[in-house]
Structures are given as C-alpha cells and as structure tokens.
C-alpha cells in the first residue's frame, strides 16, 4: 500500500509549485494528477509570487526550484524562517544540479527534502512529496504538544504559586491564635491542653515552611529575576552567616575554597547554596559535620561541589531525591518538605546546568552542579 493513503484527512493537499520553467511546472502537474492522492495545485513563476501565494493560502507542500529568476530558493527558506510564514508547509527543494552544499544548506534552513531533476526523480516524485508532507505534519504535532506541555506546566506552577500565596495569611493567623491561646489561657488549659497547643503550633510551622517552599518552587524557574555578575565568595559567605546558628548547634565546620565571579541569578543561586548547606547539616552522621565547598573549572563549564561527611545516600535513590516531595526519612526523624532538592534542580537548569549526587550510605554525600561558561 502506498504510504500517503494512511494520512489523516481526505481533502485535497494544497501544493504550490514555485518554478520558472513552464516545462517543469507541466511535468510536476502531470505527475501529481496521475497519482492516487488528490492535490490542488497552485503555481508561481518567481519568488515574489510564491511568497504572495503562500502568505494567502495555507499550503501543505511547497515545491521550490533552486534557481528562480528573482532569487535563489534558499532565500525563500530564509524568509520563511525570519518572517514565520508557511510554518507548517513541507518545503521540498528541486534542483537541476546535484550540489551537496546547496542540499545541506536547504535542509538546515528547514527544507524537508532535496530532489534532483532527472528521470529517476519522476518515479518517486509523489512518494517523496507525500513523505515530506507526513514529516511536516509530525513536526507540527510535536510543536503543538510541546506548546501544550509548556502551557500546562506554566498553569500548574501559577496555580501552585497562587494557592500557596493565599494560604500564607490564614496560616499566619492560626499561628497567632495558637500563641494567644497559650499566653492568655495557658494556665486554664492544663498540661494536656498545653501539649495539644504545642503540637498544633509545630504542625502550623511545618505547614508554613511547606507553603514557603512551594512558593519558591513555583518561582524557581519562572520568576522575573535577571542575571548579574556575582562574586560567589561573598554570596556563599552570606549564606553561611545565615545558617550560623545551625552550624554552632551541630558543632559543624564549613571549609570554603576560593570561588569564581560568575553571571548568575543571585537570589536563586543563594537559595541553591543554602539548600545544599542546610541539607549537609540536617543529614549529619554521628561525627561532627565537615562541609567543603569547592569548584573545578572545565573547558566549557564550572563544576561546583558541596561535600559532607553525613549519613550518605544509597545509589538507588540518587535520582529520586531530586523529585518534589521525595524524602528518604520520616518527618519526625528530620524536618523537611521534600522540595529542597527539586528547587535546586530547577535553579541549576535555569542556569543551563545539571545537578547530581555522588554518595553511598555512611560515606557522606557530594552534591555537584554545573554552570556552563
């Protein structure tokens, strides 16, 4: 069975022939009309008429001669790109000469096939046209699905942002009332009542942290922050200052190597280091935590490392931990929302890099991420 019979839609395919030779136009017309598929054929003798027609009508295929009286065929391809017309048409270039460079240029500019005018071409002419139409239709469907995916992803993060934003105010109020209840009526509540209020407060605080993390998560890839040249020594020193209480409580040591100055999204980058350092403190082992922060420069990228001597992570979970809400320990063992590393991943991806972990249980963990040059 011929391939084009399986194509969806039973209307005629609109095909535009841009060709100055009346002999070639007649030949293509004849070949198209002799085939089993149904075509509505339009013709243009030069580039400007071709542009005019393809702007007016949505073509399924454009058969484009390489040498036109007013331009080269590749000029048409360039215009399609820069001006965005005929985005869904399968453009097939036809040339009298077997010129590899022109064929490569045409394909790079978006042509879906390159045919050489000779007797062999006539045999597979319609088959080649139909294959190109099918490829163009697949490309269009792929583009549409990508767009749909992007739209739903954006809608989801917008929803997460709005929902978590709206949750903040009532949560703040619940926490205030918990405090009031304890302060104003604590003596009447008795030990059991006070214990309930304590537990209520702990859970509200957890919920507040979760909502805060959700807000950061939804903003990590889409926020409006711009890049700036940042001395990462200063940025990381600031983060260490912020987590100082936890450093002292854990009797931890942070060893900071000299870091470079790079163009980064400053707030996101700060959050990235903060998450990794806090995790290195949280998932500590019996030993006093030692955290080393360093980087290596490779030809095309910088590779940063945050290395700890904590409990480590089984290789089985090295990928899963970067997924939202994925945690390896219970809430009671170590507090957390399970969003930290997924935010880190988004931030690194926003910078065009990658993040991964090298670790095994009991051997500490080294979180590595790259920033392309």
DSSP 19-38: -S-HHHHHHHHHHHHHSSS-
Which range of residues in 13-21, 264-272, 331-339, 345-353 is near ligand ADP by CB under 6 A? 331-339
CA dist list (Å): 320 to 29, 129, 253, 315, 323: 58, 46, 28, 10, 5
Per-residue x/- track, 58-97, ligand ADP (CB under 6 A): ----------------------------------------
CB of residue 320 vs ligand ADP: minimum separation in angstroms?
8
**Identified binder of ligand ADP from the candidate list 171, 310, 347, 348, rule CB under 6 A:** 310
Between 12 and 333, whose beta carbon lies closer to ligand ADP? 333
Residues 6+ apart with CB under 8 A from 47: 18, 68, 70, 71, 75, 76
CA gap 347, 223 in Å, rounded: 11
Count the site residues for ligand ADP by CB under 6 A: 22
CA dist list (Å): 340 to 212, 257, 280, 327: 11, 24, 12, 10
| CA distance between the termini of the chain | 52
CB of residue 56 vs ligand ADP: minimum separation in angstroms?
54
Between 337 and 370, whose beta carbon lies closer to ligand ADP? 337
DSSP 218-240: HHHHH--PPPEEEEHHHHHHHHH
Residues 75, 47 contacting (CB under 8 angstroms): yes
Query: 86 — alpha (psi -120 to 50), left (phi > 0) or beta?
Result: left
With binding defined as CB under 6 A, does residue 337 bind ligand ADP? yes
Between 73 and 310, whose beta carbon lies closer to ligand ADP? 310
Number of other residues whose CB lies within 10 A of the CB of residue 302 = 18
Between 43 and 308, whose beta carbon lies closer to ligand ADP? 308
Between 14 and 368, whose beta carbon lies closer to ligand ADP? 368
Question: Which helix (DSSP H) or strand (DSSP E) does residue 264 occupy?
Answer: strand 261-264
Which range of residues in 43-51, 235-243, 244-252, 324-332 is near ligand ADP by CB under 6 A? 324-332
Between 41 and 256, whose beta carbon lies closer to ligand ADP? 256
Q: Can you state the angle between helices 119-222 and 22-34, rounded to 10 degrees?
A: 80
Which range of residues in 19-27, 39-47, 93-101, 273-281 is near ligand ADP by CB under 6 A? 273-281
Question: Which helix (DSSP H) or strand (DSSP E) does residue 160 occupy?
Answer: helix 119-222
Which range of residues in 51-59, 150-158, 227-235, 277-285 is near ligand ADP by CB under 6 A? 277-285
With binding defined as CB under 6 A, does residue 333 bind ligand ADP? no
Between 73 and 312, whose beta carbon lies closer to ligand ADP? 312
With binding defined as CB under 6 A, does residue 338 bind ligand ADP? yes
**Which tokens in the block code for residue 130?**
């139909």
User: What percentage of the chain's residues is helix, strand, coil (to nearest 5)?
Assistant: 55, 20, 25
With binding defined as CB under 6 A, does residue 311 bind ligand ADP? yes
**Which tokens in the block code for residue 242?**
């912020």
Count Cα atoms within 13 angstroms, Cβ side, for 295: 19
**Identified binder of ligand ADP from the candidate list 308, 309, 346, 350, rule CB under 6 A:** 308
Residues β-bridged to residue 295: 304
**Identified binder of ligand ADP from the candidate list 321, 347, 348, 371, rule CB under 6 A:** 321
With binding defined as CB under 6 A, does residue 216 bind ligand ADP? no
With binding defined as CB under 6 A, does residue 271 bind ligand ADP? no
Which range of residues in 98-106, 117-125, 293-301, 335-343 is near ligand ADP by CB under 6 A? 335-343
CA gap 297, 300 in Å, rounded: 8
Between 37 and 328, whose beta carbon lies closer to ligand ADP? 328
- Footprint of ligand ADP on this chain (CB under 6 A)? 275, 279-280, 283, 308, 310-313, 321, 326-329, 336-342, 365
């Amino acid at each position: 069975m011929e391939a084009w019979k399986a194509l969806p839609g039973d209307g005629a395919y609109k095909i535009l022939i841009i060709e100055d030779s009346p002999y070639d136009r007649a030949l293509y017309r004849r070949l198209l009309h002799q085939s089993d598929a149904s075509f509505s054929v339009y013709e243009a003798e030069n580039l400007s008429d071709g542009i005019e027609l393809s702007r007016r009508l949505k073509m399924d295929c454009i058969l484009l001669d390489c040498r036109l009286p007013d331009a080269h065929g590749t000029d048409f391809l360039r215009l399609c790109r820069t001006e965005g017309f005929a985005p869904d048409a399968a453009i097939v270039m036809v040339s009298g000469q077997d010129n590899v460079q022109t064929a490569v240029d045409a394909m790079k500019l978006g042509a879906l096939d390159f045919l050489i005018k000779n007797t062999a071409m006539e045999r597979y002419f319609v088959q080649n046209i139909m294959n190109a139409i099918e490829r163009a239709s697949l490309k269009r469907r792929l583009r549409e699905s990508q767009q749909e995916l992007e739209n739903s992803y954006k809608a989801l993060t917008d929803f997460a942002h709005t929902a978590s934003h709206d949750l903040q105010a009532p949560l703040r109020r619940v926490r205030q009332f918990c405090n009031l209840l304890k302060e104003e009526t604590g003596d009447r509540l008795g030990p059991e009542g006070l214990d309930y209020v304590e537990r209520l407060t702990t859970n509200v605080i957890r919920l507040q942290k979760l909502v805060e993390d959700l807000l950061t998560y939804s903003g990590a890839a889409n926020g409006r922050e711009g890049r700036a040249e940042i001395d990462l020594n200063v940025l990381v020193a600031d983060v260490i200052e912020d987590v100082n209480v936890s450093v002292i409580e854990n009797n931890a040591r942070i060893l900071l190597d000299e870091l470079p100055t790079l163009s980064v999204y400053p707030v996101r980058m700060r959050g990235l280091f903060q998450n990794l350092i806090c995790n290195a403190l949280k998932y500590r082992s019996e030993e006093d935590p030692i955290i080393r922060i360093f980087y290596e420069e490779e030809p095309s990228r910088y590779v940063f490392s945050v290395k700890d001597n904590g409990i480590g992570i089984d290789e089985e979970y090295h990928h899963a931990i970067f997924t939202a809400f994925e945690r390896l320990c219970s809430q009671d063992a170590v507090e957390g929302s399970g969003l930290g590393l997924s935010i880190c991943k988004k931030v690194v991806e926003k910078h065009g890099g990658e993040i991964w972990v090298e670790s095994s249980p009991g051997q500490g963990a080294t979180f590595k991420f790259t920033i392309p040059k």
